[in-house]
Amino acid sequence: MFGYPSNNVLQYQITAALPQYFWHDRKEIGAYALCKGNKQNYDFYIIEIDVNLTKMSDGEKQERFGEARFAWGGDFNGRSYGYKPLKAETLVEAKAEVEAIYEKILVDAINAVKAGLDALVTEYAGFKEAQRRN
């Protein structure tokens, strides 16, 4: 008998097709990557400032990051994000903060695409109206 798969099967298929996100922790060097698909594929990361930036003096760290324990950075959609301080006091909080930043970046990108599509639809409608009048 043929038919449509159940909602549970569809949800599983959709979930299986999406990249899986996870944190790859390298505590020994104070680096934590938000990965997708595999450990070599990440866009954003967190560093523990005192563990990872050992070549910077305490004064340089203070000037650049203030009292922050963690900083984040990464590359996404052709834009580079250099080290920026996080407000988090713990690694758990830092990870949540970076996930919220990533979500905002994704939502902003989706909204920009939607606005672009809306502008194209309006342009196309105007063009078709002008053709009809001619």
Helix (H) or strand (E) holding 90: none
Confirm if 82 and 73 have CB atoms less than 8 A apart. yes
Render each residue's pLDDT in the chain as its tens digit; 134 residues: 445 555 565 555 555 566 788 899 999 999 999 988 765 678 899 999 999 998 999 999 999 999 999 999 998 878 888 899 999 999 999 999 999 999 998 899 899 999 999 999 999 999 999 999 87
DSSP state of 6: P
Confirm if 43 and 75 have CB atoms less than 8 A apart. yes
Sheet holding 38-48, edge to edge: 21-26, 31-36, 38-48, 70-76, 79-85
